[in-house]
Amino acid sequence: MNIINGKEIAAELRMQLKEKVEKLKEKNIHIGLAVIIVGDNPASRIYVNNKKKACAEVGIESFEYALPAETTQEELINLIEKLNNDKKVNGILVQLPVPKHIDDKAVINAISVKKDVDGFSHNNMGKLATGDYGLLPCTPAGIIYMLKHEGIQIAGKHCVVIGRSNIVGKPVSLLMLDENATVTICHSKTPNLKYHTLQADIIISAVGHAKLVTADMVKKGAVIVDVGMNKDENGKLCGDVDFENVAPKCSYITPVPGGVGPMTIAMLLNNTVKTCEQEN
């Protein structure tokens, strides 16, 4: 059994990005990422701080816009329009969730398709669905990057994705299809989840349900990617997979924490560098 160390893979990718950023700076090209946070969600604040720290590490300038919770949708979209036209800004990210009175879809689709480093806009999602990639959603892109980094074969394999969100489940299914896997998508209304997972060569779980995937649901030698972030009965961070009991059956498995999480931020930086390179 091999544990896929997302921390190490992400650190390696950040080093490569740092070199790219330095080469761009030599040509007097500077990269900027605008991060917008609305309200004071403590989890969002942690994510934003981590993103800013990662930007600093690779030499990307980050511009933070911390807006009060009562900010109107119109005010937020006006700010996005301003950043769309700002030459210093290569990527724009709105930290989700936004307060309930704001329509997150309208906000995300207001971001210029060239600066949508989260890859969530309808335009970039449409490109993903047709295989004509624009900017890819960070977590799904990070998953593919990890699998390839470990030399895991995807083509011809049966992949079961648990979860159908627009952030992970749907886009990662499309990416796996594009890598020539046979893909089954399961969700809360799927009867007999175990029937499907037992046939899987690769299982990607992204539902946010602690220890949903147990050892009796996994065939020997399967590859497990755990995207869940949950707390167990002792308040300890855990994934969707019962790691302790499932790991011995796997050929490869991602831990929580230290698996998919670090890759998400690394792919955000990757997207930001990509937008700058495309523009120049």
Q: What is the dihedral of CA 52, 58, 62, 68, to 10 degrees?
A: -10
Q: What is the dihedral of CA 170, 174, 176, 179, to 10 degrees?
A: -170
83: Cα within 13 Å, side-chain hemisphere: 30
**Annotated catalytic residue within 20, 115, 118, 211:** 118
Q: Is 95 a catalytic residue?
A: yes
Q: Is 220 a catalytic residue?
A: no
Task: Using alpha carbons, select from 264, 274, 252, 273 the residue that is nearest to residue 9.
Answer: 264
Q: Are 187 and 162 in contact (CB under 8 A)?
A: yes
User: The tokens of 155 are what?
Assistant: 């083509």
Number of helices (H), then strands (E), in the chain: 10, 11
Q: Is 232 a catalytic residue?
A: no
**Annotated catalytic residue within 20, 51, 115, 170:** 51
Residues noted as catalytic: 51, 95, 118
